[in-house]
Amino acid sequence: MSQLRYTKEHEWVRIDGDTAVCGITEFAQKALGDIVYVELPEAGKKVAQGSEVAVIESAKAASEIYAPVAGEVIATNENLSSDPAQVNKAAESDGWIFKLKPSNAAELTTLMDEAAYRDYVKGL
């Protein structure tokens, strides 16, 4: 499996070939609590790094999900429509939310690796 990279807004991205698989972190899903709904983006949507792509709702709150890198949405995790709690069960694997075709791979260098992200959340 490819290495995950993280944003300060608690999204992760994993590059698989020429596809960026994106979701929210374990830290984010624990903070949100029980996920009850995920508003998935439309395929074909073009997004800039840091722009809102989707919305996730829990029993506690609704939260925006931002693009870790710029690109075009090429797929969404349709399983989340019927089972949004999949994000709680496996936020950084099967609970992925959308896939992008990245438009600027260099943006990955602006994201945190796992060690840096773990240090970041310790300070919160």
Q: Structural domain boundaries of the chain? A: 4-105
What is the model's pLDDT at position 2? 57
DSSP annotation string for the chain: -PPEEE-TTSEEEEEETTEEEEEE-HHHHHHH-SEEEEEPPPTT-EE-TT-EEEEEEESS-EEEEE-SS-EEEEEE-THHHH-TTHHHH-TTTTT--EEEEES-GGGGGGSB-HHHHHHHHHT-
pLDDT tens per residue across span 79-123: 999 999 999 999 999 999 999 999 998 999 999 999 999 999 999
pLDDT tens per residue across span 62-84: 999 999 999 999 999 999 999 99
Average pLDDT over residues 42-46: 97
Fold of 4-105: OB fold (Dihydrolipoamide Acetyltransferase, E2P) (2.40.50)
